[in-house]
Amino acid sequence: MVTLKEGDKAPAFSGKDANGKKIALKDFKGKKLVLYFYPQDLTPTCTVQACNLRDNFSLLKKKGIEVVGVSPDDAAKHKRFEERNQLPFPLIADTDHVILEKYGVWDQKQLFGHKYMGVLRTTFVIDEKGVILKVFTKPKSKMHAEEILKAIS
């Protein structure tokens, strides 16, 4: 269950992207960061969300916002997802669920009466000092960048 809220200090994290490059929260000090958690690469809703962020990436960058995606998929699957959709931002492979658990987005879900552990699609907008500005617990995948920009303006 997502317990982090606006005004909380964002938990420190580090992980590797699809190219093996280490990415950490401290890398974004002095910048705004959209840290978005999604269930799985190459699935319809996750693709729509990633492509919406891709299509609005230059506008987000113009507003001083960096974007990083996190899912439990491995680096190879992230690489395919990035290449297929020409994503201009990194995706962290959190196969051990360390970052997912720190942010409270790895939790029990239910589909057609079947319970399982999975990612709660959630986005955190983190300010230049590492404080959470906004939490989207039910982001609108088709217009996610727009809701982010509206929330921080």
In the structure encoding, which two tokens stand for residue 119, read together? 């990612």
Sign, CA torsion 104/144/20/61:
negative
DSSP 8-state symbol, 94: -
Of the residues 46, 92, 105, 132, only one is catalytic, namely 46
Is 46 one of the annotated active-site residues of the chain?
yes
Q: CB-based contacts of 124: which residues, under 8 Å, 6+ apart? A: 4, 10, 34, 35, 36, 103, 132, 134, 135, 136
Give me the active site residues, please.
46
